Structures are given as structure tokens and as C-alpha cells.
Amino acid sequence: MFRRDPDAGLERVETVIGRGATVNGTLNGTGTLRVDGKVEGQVVHRGDVVVGETGLIEAAIQARNITVAGEIRGSVEAEGKLELIAT
């Protein structure tokens, strides 16, 4: 009856660039963005950005928090934290 939601308080991923997908241009948004594919251009995000193990971003990135398990080729600007994950 009073079970706690295990995901309560965690921000859910709202946008996913899937493995095998490529996005070209400027990507703007809010919430959490997960990149498992490829983004070329510019990322200006008011939320968090997660680059998965298969993700590649060839772009300048601006976001609140950025977590990287994949690869970034470009400038990175995080308002909060920048976290690098060993793969």
C-alpha cells in the first residue's frame, strides 16, 4: 500500500539518440538526454547529458551535468558536474 517507487526522485531519460542513429545540427532541450548513437554539430541542453558507451558526440556541448562513458570530440561546458566513466 505504501510502497516506495524505486525510481522516485531520479530524473528519467526523456530523449534518446539510439545506437546506429546520427543527428546533425543543433540539439536543444531540457530533461535528460542520452546519446548511444552519434551527434554532430552543437548540443545546448538545459538538463543532463549522458553519453553511453557506444555514444559519439562531435560537437560543442553545454549542459547542466554531463556523464561520459563514450567519446566526445569538442568543447565541453558543464554548469554542475562532469563525470567520466571507465569503460
CA distance 15 to 28: 11
- Per-residue pLDDT, averaged over 68-85, amounts to 97
pLDDT recorded at residue 13: 83
Question: In the structure, what pLDDT confidence band is assigned to residue 87 with cuts at 50, 70 and 90?
Answer: confident
Q: Which tens digits make up the pLDDT trace of 18-69?
A: 999 999 999 999 999 999 999 999 999 999 999 999 999 999 999 999 999 9
Rounded distance between C-alpha atoms, residue 13 and residue 31, angstroms: 7
Cα torsion at 9, 10, 15, 18 (round to 10°)? Answer: -160
- Reduce the DSSP state of residue 85 to 3 states and report it: coil
C-alpha atoms less than 13 angstroms from C-alpha of 46 in its C-beta half-sphere: 4
